[in-house]
Amino acid sequence: MRSKAQIKGHPIHPALIPFPFAFLFGAAAFDLVGSAFTRPALSLTAGHLTLAGIAAGLLAAVPGAIDYFYSVPPRSSGADRATKHAIGNVSALVLFGAAWSLRNADWSSTPLTLALEAVGTLALAYSGWLGGTLVTRNLIGVDHRYANAGKWQDVSLSAAKGEPIEVGHADDLEEDQMKLLRINGHRIVLARTADGFTAFDDRCTHRGGSLAGGVMIGGTVQCLWHGSQFDTSSGGVSCGPAKKKIAVYEVRQERNGRLLLVSPPE
């Protein structure tokens, strides 16, 4: 079975994030000032901002979930960070929702409203910092390129146990270009070098960065999270901080240009 997807981080996710942040931080600030100076109009505004913030947060959660399940490399430091980011965001929405439900009938805030909003603001600030780190350090949603990288290629396949599987055609890649294969739930990179085709685990052995999302030059792939380099024909480490080699897989090119992964992972 074969399907195609072209997702490498959802650029719409970072674009939506400012809205729930602005609305919910604004709600907390308006409620604080409204209750400190007994200004019911400000509390009313805070109530509306809370509803807008929760709606915007739920909307932003859709591309966020796609990134979480599809783009963030599994079993990586980025995946741990993304899990905390998701928990922080959900907690903040729940806290602001509870704070809203505890308002008085005229939507003025209660002490419990203010307390829950204060905790929600802290949760939001923490998850926002994690989200920023996911973009700037883990490059989730960043469409970076290197010279001759070509278009991002990402294919999902399922292979029968022990059977070679067709993973593409020789024309798919030029030298030093890569393609991400998702085979039976495993992430494998198909790459072309000066010597032909090779395949290797998409997971950097340092902290799990995606190698398909890295840079490849002269048959060496570099992970962009902390700079580890691997020889793509042997899997050996050319440069740390990674210490363990990556698994490599045999790729066979047939006369008609079809590329077969000889022993796909089960």
* Residues of this chain that bind ligand FES (CB under 6 A): 204, 206-209, 223, 225-228, 241-242
Shortest Å distance, C-beta 137 to ligand FES: 10
Shortest Å distance, C-beta 219 to ligand FES: 18
Shortest Å distance, C-beta 204 to ligand FES: 3
Kindly tell me which of 173 and 211 has the beta carbon lying closer to ligand FES: 211
Kindly tell me which of 103 and 207 has the beta carbon lying closer to ligand FES: 207
Q: How far apart are CA 216 and CA 188, in angstroms?
A: 15
Contact 212, 189 (CB under 8 A): yes
Kindly tell me which of 144 and 169 has the beta carbon lying closer to ligand FES: 144
Shortest Å distance, C-beta 216 to ligand FES: 14
Residue among 98, 74, 103, 81 nearest 187 (CA): 74
Residue among 148, 156, 77, 92 nearest 123 (CA): 92
Going by the DSSP 8-state scheme, the letter that residue 35 receives in this structure is H
Beta-carbon count within 10 A of 194 CB = 8
**From the CA atom positions of the chain, what is the Rg in Å?**
24
Shortest Å distance, C-beta 45 to ligand FES: 45
Q: How far apart are CA 199 and CA 216, in angstroms?
A: 13
Shortest Å distance, C-beta 178 to ligand FES: 15
Provide CB contacts within 8 A for 246, sequence distance 6+: 200, 201, 203, 204, 205, 211, 230, 235
Kindly tell me which of 26 and 227 has the beta carbon lying closer to ligand FES: 227
Q: How long is the chain?
A: 266
* E strand spans, the chain: 2-4, 154-157, 165-169, 178-183, 186-193, 196-201, 215-217, 220-222, 229-231, 237-239, 248-249, 251-253, 258-261
Q: How far apart are CA 198 and CA 219, in angstroms?
A: 9
Shortest Å distance, C-beta 241 to ligand FES: 6
Kindly tell me which of 2 and 144 has the beta carbon lying closer to ligand FES: 144
Q: How far apart are CA 115 and CA 99, in angstroms?
A: 8
Kindly tell me which of 113 and 229 has the beta carbon lying closer to ligand FES: 229
Kindly tell me which of 156 and 220 has the beta carbon lying closer to ligand FES: 220
